[in-house]
């Protein structure tokens, strides 16, 4: 594809340092770029590769200073959002996935009175429970389990070995990664007088709204009596735990190994970084960012970045960390002062 045509397709705002006849055929990382490849810079750490990459073109922000002239480096394609532009490039050049044939595989198990849209595809060894409903153009990959009375909307993709328990509700264009479990019992037990624990029945459901993507080996627990809800546009990484009765706000994103305890409500457009944890029965407002490995123990009522354990506004956390680093020196100074006072007495 010619660079000019490519730039138009990804919504670029300008092309610089290009001859105009560059042909682009693939995408690569900037470190190992090859001829006819397009790459991008979305982080300042990678700017050093601008003069060494072998890629023919690089997508950058509107304001990045380029340290060369025509002929000494790759063509520059400027975009308002390099990440978004590069994602479009990946769509253009990514190999097309083979689409499964429509219909039910002979080895799939479909229980009585399940409702399958004629365009749905049910893969080998999948199980569809009684009275389950599967929407148009939805693909259920081999080995998946869909329980009785579950509802899955249109244009969904359920990857191999996913488990969706009874009565769960999924909207349209939902993607569930391999090995993920939707709707297993929430972690609820009552301590008994003899030291044992009695299980609290978990009879609620999980509701996953439209345009949600959930990664591999993630778990979303069913509610105790009502619903656990993952709202529209949420993106969950692999290896995440969402406990019972949690409500995850629209367009929230969450990185791997994060955990949300029971009955916690997240606002819209939150960002939960890797290995962060939130305790139960709290809330966050909209536009909250929780830093990696942070622990949120209280409700957050103001937008912003929160870090540390317990999580605090980032400036406060950085000040505390700075004070902690200077603590050994302060201890030594106190010891010397105490020695001087003792000597004077």
Q: Which residue has the tokens 């690569």?
A: 28
DSSP, res 146? E
- Check residue 265 and give its pLDDT: 98
Bridge partners, 236 (sequence order)? 214, 254
pLDDT of residue 24: 96
Q: Count the Cβ atoms, other than its own, within 10 Å of residue 110.
A: 19
Catalytic residue among 36, 63, 121, 244: 244
User: Distance between CA atoms of 77 and 38, rounded to whole angstroms?
Assistant: 9
Mean pLDDT of each 10-residue bin along the chain, 345 residues long? 95 94 94 93 92 94 88 92 94 78 86 93 96 96 96 96 97 98 97 96 98 98 97 98 98 98 98 98 98 97 96 91 89 91 86
Provide the whole-model pTM.
0.87
Contact 202, 186 (CB under 8 A): yes
pLDDT at 303: 98
117 as an active site residue: the answer is no
Write down the pLDDT at residue 252: 98
Map out the domains of the chain with their CATH numbers: 3-93 (3.40.1390.10)
Q: Output the DSSP codes for 236-278.
A: E-SS-EE-TT-EEPTT-EE-TT-EE-TT-B--TT-EE-TT-EE
DSSP state of 45: G
């Amino acid at each position: 594809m010619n660079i000019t045509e490519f730039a138009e397709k990804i919504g670029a705002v300008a092309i610089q340092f290009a001859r105009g006849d560059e042909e682009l055929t693939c995408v690569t990382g900037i470190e190992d770029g090859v001829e006819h490849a397009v790459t991008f810079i979305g982080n300042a750490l990678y700017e050093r590769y601008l003069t060494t990459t072998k890629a023919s073109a690089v997508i950058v922000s509107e304001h990045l200073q380029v340290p060369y002239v025509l002929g000494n480096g790759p063509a520059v394609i400027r975009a308002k959002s390099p990440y978004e532009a590069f994602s479009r490039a990946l769509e253009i050049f990514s190999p097309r996935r083979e689409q499964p044939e429509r219909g039910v595989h002979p080895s799939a198990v479909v229980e009585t009175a399940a409702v399958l849209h004629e365009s749905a595809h049910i893969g080998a060894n999948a199980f569809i429970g009684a009275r389950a409903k599967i929407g148009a153009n939805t693909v259920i990959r081999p080995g998946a389990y869909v329980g009785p009375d579950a509802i899955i909307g249109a244009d969904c993709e359920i990857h191999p070995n996913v488990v969706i328990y009874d009565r769960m509700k999924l909207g349209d264009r939902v993607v569930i990664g391999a090995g993920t479990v939707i709707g297993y019992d929430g972690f609820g037990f009552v301590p008994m007088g003899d030291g044992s624990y009695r299980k609290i029945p978990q009879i609620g459901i999980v509701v996953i709204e439209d345009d949600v993507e959930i990664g591999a080996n993630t778990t979303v627990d069913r509610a105790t009596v009502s619903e656990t809800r993952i709202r529209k546009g949420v993106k969950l990484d692999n290896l995440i735990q969402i406990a019972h009765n949690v409500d995850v706000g629209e367009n929230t994103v969450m990185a791997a190994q994060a955990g949300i305890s029971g009955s916690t409500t997240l606002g819209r457009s939150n960002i939960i970084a890797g290995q962060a944890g939130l305790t139960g029965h709290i809330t966050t407002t909209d536009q909250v960012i929780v830093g990696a490995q942070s622990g949120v123990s209280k409700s957050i009522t103001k937008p912003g970045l929160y870090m540390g354990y317990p999580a605090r506004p980032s400036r406060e956390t950085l000040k505390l960390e700075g004070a902690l680093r200077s603590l050994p020196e302060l201890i030594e100074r106190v010891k010397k002062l105490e020695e001087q006072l003792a000597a004077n007495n």
